[in-house]
Amino acid sequence: MMRPLWCALLLCSYTLSAFAADDQATLRQRIAAFSNSVGFSCTFEQEVYLSDGQVQRYAGSLEVLRPGRFRWEYREPYAQLYLGDGRLIWHYEPDLMQVERMSNLDAVDPLVMRLLDGRLESGRLTLLDVRHERGRDAYRIRVGAMAPVWLAFDRADGRLAYVESTDALGNRNRIRFTRCSLVAPPSQRFSFAVPKGVDVIDVQPRR
């Protein structure tokens, strides 16, 4: 099952609605710090608040190296890996002894993959709302016709603090980022060799 990544990290161009000039300028600067970097890495904690009151918790790490390479690794409550090597996307679940192999970004989530890869088209981002929290600034954005998400940044250093979204069923998904570094990860982190005895499933692009 595909975990909701919602990782809006590498936006490179956008339009802003009518908000305070200071808010618009600050958002530009903070997004530019990611879009101008060759790569970055973070640890994360993810909480999914389901509409029935249940809470699901996950933890792991994220690494990105442009162009087209990413490593999104879950360690808790169980291991799971999404890896893009610049040509293919691999989804590995060790407990199931199974790997999904995808040749098209649309086979996963086109919005999330474009955000990770920094390939958004000009004018695709709109600022919908701003809230100033304790030590953080949060921006509600929309990318094209996709559902809005919140991006929050630490006010002191401008680092990404969390990404939050709510789906059509009212489930709220928040990913909090810690120990973020704009130092590009080594390229060998983005290669994948299918383990012996693991089944490989080719996933066709969505139509």
Cα(150)–Cα(181) distance, integer angstroms: 21
**Structure token pair of residue 182:** 């704009």
160 and 9 Cβ atoms separated by less than 8 Å: yes
pTM (predicted TM-score): 0.77
150 and 139 Cβ atoms separated by less than 8 Å: yes
pLDDT at 16: 43
Alpha-helical segments (H) within the chain: 21-35, 110-117
pLDDT at 122: 37
> Token match 């699901």: residue?
56
pLDDT at 2: 47
**Residues with Cβ within 8 Å of residue 89, at least 6 apart in sequence:** 82, 83, 101, 102, 103, 105, 107, 108, 113
Instruction: Domain 21-203: give its CATH architecture.
Output: Clam (2.50)
- Neighbouring-strand partners of residue 101: 90, 202
- Neighbouring-strand partners of residue 89: 84, 102
127 and 134 Cβ atoms separated by less than 8 Å: no
pLDDT tens-place string over residues 48-86: 999 999 999 999 999 989 888 889 999 999 999 999 998
- Domain ranges (residues) in the chain: 21-203
User: Which residue from 144, 137, 101 is spatially nearest to 13, judged by alpha carbons?
Assistant: 144
Average confidence score pLDDT of the chain: 80
User: Which residue from 116, 79, 84, 80 is spatially nearest to 102, judged by alpha carbons?
Assistant: 84
**Residues with Cβ within 8 Å of residue 2, at least 6 apart in sequence:** 91, 108, 109
Please, which pLDDT band fits residue 46 given cuts at 50, 70 and 90? very high
Phi/psi region, residue 97 (left: phi>0; alpha: psi -120 to 50; beta: rest), is left
**Structure token pair of residue 197:** 């005895």
**Structure token pair of residue 20:** 């305070």
pLDDT tens-place string over residues 144-197: 777 788 889 898 888 888 988 888 889 999 989 899 888 899 999 999 999 999
